[in-house]
Amino acid sequence: MKDNQKKTLELLDQHGESLHRLLSRLTRCEHTTSDLMQELFIRLSGGRGFAKALNPYAYAWKTAANLAFDWRRKQKINFEYLDPTMLSDESSQHTLEQMIQQEQINRILHITCGFNELARNVIVMRFIEQKSYQQIAERLGKNPDYLRSLCSKKLKHLQTILNKEISSHQKGGE
């Protein structure tokens, strides 16, 4: 068995679940997760970067996040209001709330796609994987205070874009 193949299999055994979880959270689609997971490991097994990587998990994590965000960027996101005729007889109010939240989540992920790679990854590690700034700093080799400030700025940025969209929807609906 070649070294790189062995390294990939070891990664799959040790961190397969965690990478699957990352992909499923970022894509929120089981089919896509399966596809991207397969693509990730094919890339890793054939890639020189992975073969040379000192921290294979960190390398794989970054590749997985890039794959998921690339996929999300290619998706057509329809930010339209929900159609009430569709909901009036087929869904309850609770479902509507759930759908609004799903919509918000998709929009947040879609906007996060547009951030630069570092900001995007810090946001994912901090808010989705719930890592401390110290842990993120160790992984990325950055200063935790810088990451804290970056996160705070990007959160504000997300809020501004989302609220702008909400305002324009409201104006459009009036």
Partner 1 sequence: MAKKLTEQDIIRNFEKITEFNAPKETITRDIDNIHQMLKEPGAQASPADQNVWRIIMQNKWTKRVSAAVIFIAILIGISNLPQSELSAAELLIKVSEKMANIKWAKNTSKTYLPGNDKPANSSTSITDVKNKQVFLVYEKGYLHQLDYKNQVKSVYRPDDNTMIVSKLKGKWVGPERKVKQFIEKLKTEGLEVKQSKEVIDGIEMTVIEYDETLNDINPEPDKYMSKMLFAGKSVKTIKKKLVINTDRMNLSSSQVSYFDPEDNPIARIVSETEIIESGPTDIYELGAPKDAIIINKIPDEQVKDIRKKISENQGSFTKNYVAVYIQRLAEKDNNRIMEALVIYCQGKKLRVDSFYSGSYAKREKLTEKRKDILQGSIDILRRHVPADEALAMHHVSIYDGLWQHKLEIRDKEFVLNPKQRRPDGDARGNDDLDDFGWRILWWLGDPEHMYEDEFSKENDLIAMELTAQGSSNRLPKRLALYVDPAKDYLYRRYIDKRILDAPWQIEKIEDCTQKHEDVKIYDIVEYAQTSAGKWYPKTITINGYSKTTGKKRQSDFNRKCKIFLIEENPKLQQELFDPQILE
| Ranges within 15-34 binding partner 1 (CB under 8 A) | 16-17, 20-21, 24-26, 28-34
12 binds partner 1 (CB under 8 A): yes
Burial 142-171 (b: 16+ CB within 10 A, else e): eeeeebeebbeebeeebeeeeeeeeeeeee
58 binds partner 1 (CB under 8 A): no
Cβ atoms 62, 25 nearer than 8 A: no
Say how far apart CA 141 and CA 26 lie, in whole Å. Answer: 24
Q: Shortest approach of partner 1 to residue 127 CB, angstroms? A: 4
Q: How many CB atoms lie within 10 A of CB 98?
A: 12
102 binds partner 1 (CB under 8 A): yes
Q: What are 42's two structure tokens?
A: 């094919």
What is the x/- site pattern for partner 1, positions 59-88, by CB under 8 A?
A: ----------------xx-x-xxxxxxx-x
Q: Shortest approach of partner 1 to residue 54 CB, angstroms? A: 21
116 binds partner 1 (CB under 8 A): no
